């Protein structure tokens, strides 16, 4: 196949004056190289398209592809991850990963949790705060955990995120509202262990790739899986495969959420245990990071004994099978 690759290159936005935290979700050159090299090793020809702006220009000049490997995150708006897939849908060009509806919902953690709650999947009690004035939360108790409602890569999460009283809640929400210009998700704090579940496939063919525990070392344990802990993962984080019992427990919950949210091809479900050891849904990552060295999904893939190229092959296989099935039904 001739496969186009859509992405947002972090260095391009850094040159425009955006900060490293603002561009945390965007891709490094080594990620694009790794995806491109893996696709070529699988026997495909490739074309690096780039951002949505480059995609618009190429489409206007008549360019088309058999499949687009889409990892474009976008930078503006709460539906930014849905922009490239929506454009590709309009041109009826198949692409990897989830559709615009799923990507738009999944980036908004509050909307996602409402659906997950309706699916009767355990998730921490929550409320969305749009103003730091007159905050009233009576449905759950301190400590609480606060974060921007529509960010990834742990952006906006730090020492201020776990709050123990009203003053900390008010000041923490004010900080997030000011910095990110979006509502704050306030959740009942979950004190238990944290896991991430790798998912591959779509619908009835979806399955668990593996379950990995995220263990913060020493003093960093108190902070949570923050942005700073993620970028300093070598010193601060230990990644462990879950035991068979933990994998079954977390995997069943993640698979139910993955299918219920109608995610496709590959991604991650993040979970955290409550005080009783029950896994709770944290968030879904239907457009999970694919840096070959430090992204959670490739780390999990390595721990399970698979190569990075194996992961890319699974993604393309799922997208191709799904697209072929869709084409046969429509014809």
What tens digit of pLDDT does each residue of 147-196 get?
Answer: 999 988 788 888 889 999 999 999 999 999 999 999 999 999 999 999 99
Domain count, the chain: 3
Q: Are residues 77 and 19 in the same domain?
A: yes
Residue finishing a domain among 97, 112, 144: 97
Cα–Cα distance for residue pair 153/105, rounded to 1 Å: 17
Angle between helices 100-107 and 109-118 (to 10 degrees): 100
Q: Are residues 198 and 325 in the same domain?
A: yes
b/e code 52-64 from CB counts within 10 Å (16+ = b)? beebeebbeeeee
What tens digit of pLDDT does each residue of 207-248 get?
Answer: 999 999 999 887 776 667 876 777 788 888 999 999 999 999
DSSP secondary structure code for residue 205 in this structure: G
304 C-beta neighbours (distance < 10 Å), count: 15
Return all residues near 14 (Cβ < 8 A) that are at least 6 apart.
20, 23
CB 269 within 8 A of CB 284: yes
CB 316 within 8 A of CB 39: yes
Cα–Cα distance for residue pair 331/329, rounded to 1 Å: 6
Question: Which residues, in sequence order, are bridge partners of residue 216?
Answer: 237
Q: Are residues 253 and 175 in the same domain?
A: no
Can you give the pTM of this predicted structure? 0.93
Q: Are residues 243 and 309 in the same domain?
A: yes
Residue 119 lies in a domain: no
Q: Which residue has the higher pLDDT, 139 or 58?
A: 58
Q: Which of 85, 141, 159, 145 has the alpha carbon at shortest distance from 113?
A: 145
Average pLDDT of the chain, as a whole number? 93
Cα–Cα distance for residue pair 215/164, rounded to 1 Å: 23
Q: Are residues 306 and 232 in the same domain?
A: yes
Residue 144: pLDDT over 90: yes
At 328 the pLDDT is 56
| CA distance readout (Å), 271 to 99, 174, 215, 279 | 23, 27, 13, 6
Return all residues near 18 (Cβ < 8 A) that are at least 6 apart.
75
CB 198 within 8 A of CB 212: yes
Q: Are residues 131 and 253 in the same domain?
A: no
Residue finishing a domain among 82, 97, 112: 97
CATH of the domain at 160: 3.30.1490.20
Cα–Cα distance for residue pair 202/97, rounded to 1 Å: 9
Q: Which of 311, 253, 94 has the alpha carbon at shortest distance from 261?
A: 253
Give the structural domain span for 90: 2-97
Residue finishing a domain among 188, 211, 233: 188
């Amino acid at each position: 196949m001739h496969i186009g690759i859509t992405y947002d290159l972090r260095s391009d936005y850094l040159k425009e004056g955006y900060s490293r935290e603002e561009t945390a979700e965007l891709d490094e050159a080594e990620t694009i190289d790794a995806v491109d090299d893996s696709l070529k090793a699988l026997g495909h020809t490739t074309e690096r398209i780039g951002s949505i702006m480059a995609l618009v220009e190429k489409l206007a000049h008549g360019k088309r592809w058999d499949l687009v490997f889409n990892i474009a995150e976008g930078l503006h708006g709460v539906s930014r991850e849905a922009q490239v897939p929506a454009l590709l849908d309009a041109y009826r060009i198949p692409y990897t990963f989830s559709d615009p509806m799923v990507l738009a919902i999944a980036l908004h953690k509050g909307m996602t949790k409402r659906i997950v709650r309706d699916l009767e999947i355990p998730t921490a009690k929550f409320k969305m705060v749009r103003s730091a004035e007159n905050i009233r939360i009576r449905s759950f108790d301190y400590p609480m955990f606060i974060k921007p409602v529509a960010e990834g890569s742990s952006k906006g999460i730090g020492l201020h995120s776990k709050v123990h009283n009203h003053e900390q809640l008010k000041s923490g929400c004010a900080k997030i509202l000011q910095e990110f210009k979006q509502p704050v998700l306030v959740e009942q704090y979950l004190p238990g262990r944290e896991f991430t579940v790798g998912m591959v496939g779509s619908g009835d063919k979806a399955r668990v790739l593996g379950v990995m525990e995220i263990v913060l070392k020493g003093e960093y344990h108190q902070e949570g899986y923050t942005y700073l802990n993620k970028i300093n993962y070598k010193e601060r984080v230990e990644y462990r495969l879950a035991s068979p019992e933990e994998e079954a427990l977390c995997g069943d919950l993640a698979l139910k959420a993955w299918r219920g949210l109608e995610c496709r091809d590959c991604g991650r479900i993040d979970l955290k245990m409550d005080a009783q050891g029950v896994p709770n849904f944290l968030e879904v990552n239907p457009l999970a990071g694919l840096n070959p060295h430090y992204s959670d999904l490739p780390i999990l893939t390595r721990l399970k004994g698979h190569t990075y190229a194996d992961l890319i092959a699974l993604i393309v296989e799922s997208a191709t099978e799904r697209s072929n099935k869709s084409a046969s039904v429509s014809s």
